[in-house]
Amino acid sequence: MCLPTVFSYNPKLHPVHIGTELYLLQITNTGLTHTGLHLLPPLASLLPLLSDLEELDVSWNDFVSGTLHSFTQQTHPVSKLKVLRLSSCRLTTEDVQTLGGALELIPDLEELSLSWNSQVGGKLPQVLHTFQQGSKIRTLELVDCALTPQDGEFVGHLLPKLQSLEVFDLSNNRNIGSSLDIIAQGLKSTPGLKILKLHSCGLSPKSVRILDGAFAFLDALRILDLSCNKELGRGFEEVPARLALLKHLEVLDLHQCSLTAEDVTSLTQIVPLLSNLEELDLSSNRALGGSLESLLSRLRFLPSLKSLLINSCALQRESFTALAEASVYLPALEILDLSWNKCVGGNLELLQQTLNLSRSLRELRLSSCSLVTEDVALLALVMQTGHLATLQKLDLSYNDGICDAGWAIFCQNLCRLKELTELDISLRPSSSQECGQWFRHLLCAVTQLPVITGIEMRRWVIPALQEKELDCFTQDRRRDIRFDHGGFQ
């Protein structure tokens, strides 16, 4: 039997022909709806032929909705299945009930993803009731499943049975915050947990204190995501700070959590102790302002830090100065996002030493930072002296205060960023401006950038005299480079 074209496979797995040696069957994001139901019988009929199948992924397919029984009737021949992904399949109530029975026949299952299926909400016990003590589940993803507080209580009681659990994602389930105490109690029985994601789960200040009690039992945790819990502010005040015990933590995401100055005071004592931290996201906590000075100054104790995102934090000059001084001691830094912090404008020189010393920086985002001509002239000088050689993405958008002379000197040196793939110099949505003579320098630079793929120039209007130059450029170049601009004058 030949595979239809909607099938894909992982080229790292061999062989890929139909037979008992096929290990992965992936039918994701085909775009088929119920008009593709005629495919279900042949797809389901494949399963008895695949006795060695270990991974089945039919995510992002509407045609699965209401038809899961066609697959589950054939699950016994694929009892070796280890990975089952059904994300965004619009599962129905009948599908959910059917799935619960089918999971009994897959004892070796290690990964289950039911994310973005709202009908799972209120019915989670029907799906997972077969998980028993000693379950082999390592990954359980239930993102945006409309889980109820009762579902939260059930999963909290279930966790002690899942002692092999390594990845647990309950993000975008806003109603489970009230059952967090039971969930946290269950987390104490998952010592091998590496990833915990509770993004947008309706957490409160009390939630931080509840979770803090579980952190002492999660020594293996690598990633902690508490982002977009907008009621979380003041939660880090007066906590015992067991978060500092997570010695292996690599990612801490607290963006858009309404953090306060008091929270930052506590985090200032905790974050520098996370010596293996690689990614820190404090973005969109607008009330922080100048209270970040002490925390940012102590980032120098995190030599492994690779990504620092502090956009939209209303930084003040003192905080920015502290960051600039500490960033010199961050040799591994790859991503720095300071966007929407107006204090950067006119003060970018504070970062000059960091930019000169950097050997790893791949992304620099300075959108809407009130940059002035002197700031882009500084970037040009850094490029001219051979620095920023590893930069791949540069965002200077929404900085309308830069004159033509500034853009000219910047574009004249842009050709030195040989690894640059994306550049954004778009104007604000309310603005529109004609490109100056610097546009010619930009085109010249792009011809010398071997891997550039996109130039964002929204609301910049290209003069008619230079329209032909751009047309010739796009026709003559063999590489596909996208210019997104505001049109021609």
Alpha-carbon span 251 to 279, nearest angstrom: 5
Count the Cβ atoms, other than its own, within 10 Å of residue 31.
10
pLDDT at 11: 34
pLDDT band of residue 485 (cuts 50, 70, 90) is: confident
**Sign of the four-CA dihedral 333, 339, 343, 349:** positive
Alpha-carbon span 25 to 46, nearest angstrom: 10
Count the Cβ atoms, other than its own, within 10 Å of residue 103.
21
pLDDT at 240: 67
- Contact between 32 and 39 under an 8 Å Cβ cutoff? The reply is yes
Share of the chain above pLDDT 90, in %: 70
pLDDT per residue as tens digits for the range 198-238: 999 999 999 999 999 999 999 999 999 999 999 999 999 87
Provide φ and ψ at 252, rounded to 5°. -125, 115
Alpha-carbon span 81 to 105, nearest angstrom: 9
Provide the token pair at 155.
């999963």
pLDDT at 367: 98
Alpha-carbon span 264 to 476, nearest angstrom: 54
Range 71-90 average pLDDT: 76
pLDDT of 28 higher than 60: no
pLDDT band of residue 470 (cuts 50, 70, 90) is: confident
pLDDT band of residue 49 (cuts 50, 70, 90) is: low
**Average model confidence (pLDDT) across the chain:** 87
Burial of residue 464, with CB atoms counted within 10 A of its CB: 0-12 exposed, 13-18 middle, 19 or more buried: exposed
Range 123-134 average pLDDT: 91
- Contact between 77 and 104 under an 8 Å Cβ cutoff? The reply is no
pLDDT band of residue 2 (cuts 50, 70, 90) is: very low
Range 419-433 average pLDDT: 95
Angle at which helix 438-446 crosses helix 464-476, to 10 degrees, equals: 0
Stated pTM of the model: 0.90
- CA-closest candidate to residue 354, choices 380, 387, 381: 387
Mapping DSSP onto H, E and C, the string for the chain reads CCCCCCCECCCCCCCCCCCCCCCEEECCCCCCCHHHHHHHHHHHHHHHHCCCCCEEECCCCHHHCCCHHHHHCCCHHHCCCCEEECCCCCCCHHHHHHHHHHHHHCCCCCEEECCCCHHHCCCHHHHHCCCCCCCCCCEEECCCCCCCHHHHHHHHHHHHHCCCCCEEECCCCCCCHHHHHHHHHHHCCCCCCCEEECCCCCCCHHHHHHHHHHHCCCCCCCEEECCCCCCCCCCCCCCCCHHHHCCCCCEEECCCCCCCHHHHHHHHHHHHHCCCCCEEECCCCCCCHHHHHHHHHHHHHCCCCCEEECCCCCCCHHHHHHHHHHHCCCCCCCEEECCCCHHHCCCHHHHHHHHHHCCCCCEEECCCCCCCHHHHHHHHHHHHCCCCCCCCEEECCCCCCCCHHHHHHHHHHHHHCCCCCEEECCCCCCCCEECCCHHHHHHHHHCCCCCCCEEEECCEEECHHHHHHHHHHHHHCCCCCEEEECCEC
Range 461-475 average pLDDT: 80
Range 67-72 average pLDDT: 67
- CA-closest candidate to residue 328, choices 294, 297, 285, 307: 297
Any idea which of 4-8, 334-338, 343-347, 471-475 has the lowest mean pLDDT?
4-8
Provide the token pair at 47.
């399963």
pLDDT at 419: 97
Range 239-244 average pLDDT: 82
pLDDT at 134: 84
Share of the chain above pLDDT 70, in %: 85
pLDDT at 77: 53
pLDDT of 355 higher than 90: yes
pLDDT of 342 higher than 60: yes
Provide the token pair at 376.
């882009």
pLDDT per residue as tens digits for the range 140-188: 999 999 999 999 999 999 999 999 999 999 999 999 999 999 999 999 9
Range 465-487 average pLDDT: 75
Alpha-carbon span 345 to 372, nearest angstrom: 6
pLDDT at 328: 97
pLDDT at 460: 93
pLDDT per residue as tens digits for the range 358-388: 999 999 999 999 999 999 999 999 999 999 9
- CA-closest candidate to residue 458, choices 430, 434, 424, 485: 485
pLDDT higher at 307 or 22: 307
- Contact between 26 and 57 under an 8 Å Cβ cutoff? The reply is yes
pLDDT of 37 higher than 70: no
pLDDT of 36 higher than 50: no
